[in-house]
């Protein structure tokens, strides 16, 4: 009888110590992660975050000389509203330098490098609202120039675009 009572006492004492631990683990599993992990940025994303920042900074400062050095001579901008009529380099520079809207808060960047061509896509905030940008950079090593910019408002309807669905969950990008 004494052995059974000692066993129950040991189980009770263990339960007193283990129950709060098990309960806290259950609650922790229900809470969303708080982060703690810093995403690793690829070499190309780092390089083009810097290049895109140079373009944005030159526009915000109204620095035509620096902006011109970052663009190819045949630079053009394309938008869905003017798909058949690209905005030529001089017109684009005049407009962005007048408005000084170089965009802000670049995020969700992806870079696909193809030897002397890099396709850089990202979102950024502009004065008119968030936009999705695809930039084509020409160059090699550290010497890259922006050749073509495609831009569209974020959240534009995706209905009718083959392969795109607004109902698909966003898959977090792992750098």
35-63 confidence digits (pLDDT tens): 555 566 788 899 999 999 999 999 999 99
Mean of all residue pLDDT scores within the chain: 77
Predicted confidence at residue 153, as pLDDT, reads 87
Predicted confidence at residue 24, as pLDDT, reads 44
- CB contact set of 146 (below 8 Å; sequence gap of 6+): 51, 55, 70, 71, 72, 75, 135, 136, 137
Task: Tell me the per-residue pLDDT of 106-136, one tens digit each, with 9 for 90 and over.
Answer: 888 999 999 899 999 999 988 888 889 999 9
Strand intervals (E) in the chain: 71-79, 87-88, 104-114, 117-126, 129-140, 143-153
Overall pTM surpassing 0.85 (yes/no): no
Kindly write down the DSSP assignment for every residue of 53-97, as one continuous string: HHHHHHHHHT-HHHHHHHEEEEEEEEEGGGTTSPEEHHHHHHHHH
Q: pLDDT band at residue 16, thresholds of 50, 70 and 90? A: very low
Is 90 exceeded by the pLDDT of residue 12?
A: no
Q: pLDDT band at residue 4, thresholds of 50, 70 and 90? A: low
Selected residue with higher pLDDT from 75 and 15: 75
Q: pLDDT band at residue 13, thresholds of 50, 70 and 90? A: very low
Predicted confidence at residue 174, as pLDDT, reads 61
Domain at 43-153: CATH architecture: Roll (3.10)
């Amino acid at each position: 009888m004494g052995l059974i009572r000692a066993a129950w006492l040991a189980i009770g004492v263990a339960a007193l110590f283990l129950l709060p631990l098990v309960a806290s683990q259950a609650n922790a599993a229900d809470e969303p992660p708080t982060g703690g992990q810093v995403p690793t940025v690829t070499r190309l994303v780092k390089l083009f975050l810097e290049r895109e920042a140079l373009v944005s900074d030159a526009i915000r400062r109204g620095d035509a000389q620096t902006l011109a050095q970052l663009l190819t001579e045949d630079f053009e901008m394309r938008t869905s509203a003017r798909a058949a009529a690209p905005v030529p380099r001089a017109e684009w520079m005049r407009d962005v330098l007048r408005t000084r809207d170089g965009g802000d808060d670049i995020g969700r960047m992806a870079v696909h490098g193809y030897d002397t061509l890099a396709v850089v896509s990202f979102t950024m905030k502009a004065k008119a609202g968030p936009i999705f940008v695809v930039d084509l950079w020409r160059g090699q090593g550290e010497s890259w120039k922006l050749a073509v910019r495609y831009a569209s408002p974020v959240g534009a309807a995706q209905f009718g675009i083959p392969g795109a669905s607004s109902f698909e969950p966003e898959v977090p990008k792992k750098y």
